[in-house]
Amino acid sequence: MLKKLLKRLFGFKENISEETPLAAGVVAELVPDPLPIVVEENEDAPDPQSRTGYIQCASPSGLHKMAYREWGDSNNPNVLICVHGLTRRGSDFTVLARAMSDYYRVICPDIVGRGDSDWLPNPMLYGIPQYASDMMALIAQLGLSKVDWFGTSMGGLIGTFVAAQEHSPIRRMILNDVGPRIEPTALSRLGDYVGKPLRFASKKEGLIYLNRICAPFGTFPPEQWKAYNGPHLIKRGDAWVLHYDPSIAKPFEALSSATAVVGEMMTWKAYDAIKADMLIVRGGDSDLLSAKTVAEMCQRNPRARSIEIPGVGHAPAFITPEQVSLVREFFI
């Protein structure tokens, strides 16, 4: 029952058939006014300062591998795990990981169904329970006894349920623009694009699209956007597509308001049980995490404090020096 409820945290309905790719002309209509991006089609090699690893995970439908990249000394007992949002991947944290690798071993997974990790045979298993289970497998297989956690959006929800467990390995945690209550307007916005079978005639076209939908993350120069969003595109056949399983949207179909309410209650219960020190970060223009929810989070759990980043929506990207400094100040 808990598993079923937690899957519904990001509930919305998907209205476009996965069997109908969108033509380039439709994408151009969705994303007007191309940005001045110069693109080399095969330029997204992994950061040479990082290392790639894989762990074995299990679900009711079988085994799957989860990919991760890490920075810093692999023998360093100070470990920071950075977990990405719903349609993103671990490469989002490249700038932050480099900046933190002088103090930490930084580990950034691709949650199952994203990036270089496997896709699940049964898409109905895509949800917080499976993701939390996979993260505990990562912690166990890498022999980590204590970790700090940075979670953006979905990554923060995964961290919430891991941190709520008795004897959790999480010591300190940043929840980046997410909390137990998710505003309906944000769910509607996510429903406009998550899981849609977009196909792009070129990588540049794909980057233009991603830069537009990621605009609330902050204002960055074209080269920074390219480095941030480039790893989210992969060439399949004669087209460029987003680097995640479109079926991650399937568990969110046909949800009722009643089950959403129950899911929120379960998330509050988990949040209230957290004994780790927490910093709640809210983008000042966020449509997902309200200021009212942040205030309630700080009131309900004495281990939490908050900060708001003005001029940013959902969710702060943490690729600017000022935002990276916030992370260092909290963790170090």
Domain that residue 241 falls in? 2-331
Alpha helical stretches, state H, 83-197: 94-100, 128-141, 154-163, 184-191
> Residue 125 is encoded by which pair of tokens?
């298993």
Q: How many domains would you assign to the chain?
A: 1
The tens digit of pLDDT for each residue in 51-72 reads: 999 999 999 999 999 999 999 9
**What is the average per-residue pLDDT within 129-147?**
98
Q: Note whether 301 and 274 are within 8 A (CB).
A: yes
CA atoms within 13 Å, Cβ hemisphere of 240: 21
Q: What is the pLDDT of residue 263?
A: 85
Residue 42 pLDDT grade (very low, low, confident, very high; cuts 50, 70, 90): low
**What is the average per-residue pLDDT within 221-226?**
95
Q: For residue 156, give the nearest of 180, 134, 126 by alpha carbon.
A: 180
CA atoms within 13 Å, Cβ hemisphere of 325: 4
The tens digit of pLDDT for each residue in 247-260 reads: 999 887 656 677 77
Eight-class DSSP state of 225: H
Residues 312, 303, 69, 96, CA torsion sign: positive
Sorted by sequence, the CB contacts under 8 Å of residue 66 that are 6+ apart come out as: 54, 55, 57, 109, 110, 111, 112, 117, 118, 134, 137, 138
Residue 157 CB burial class (10 angstroms; 0-12, 13-18, ≥19):
buried
> Residue 2 is encoded by which pair of tokens?
């808990």
What 3-state DSSP class applies to 293? Answer: helix
Question: Can you tell me the distance from the alpha carbon of 198 to that of 20, in angstroms, rounded to the nearest whole number?
Answer: 9
The β-bridge relationship of strands 79-83 and 233-236 is unpaired
The tens digit of pLDDT for each residue in 72-109 reads: 999 999 999 999 999 999 999 999 999 999 999 999 99
Eight-class DSSP state of 118: P
Q: For residue 254, give the nearest of 5, 12, 9 by alpha carbon.
A: 12
Whichever domain contains 308, its CATH number is 3.40.50.1820
Amino acid (1-letter code) at residue 170: I
The tens digit of pLDDT for each residue in 278-312 reads: 999 999 999 999 999 999 999 999 999 999 999 99
What values do phi and psi take at 192, rounded to 5? -75, -20
pTM (two decimals) = 0.87
**What is the average per-residue pLDDT within 209-235?**
96
Q: What is the pLDDT of residue 12?
A: 32
Q: Is the peptide bond before 315 cis (omega within 30 degrees of 0)?
A: yes
Give the mean pLDDT of the chain: 88
Amino acid (1-letter code) at residue 17: S
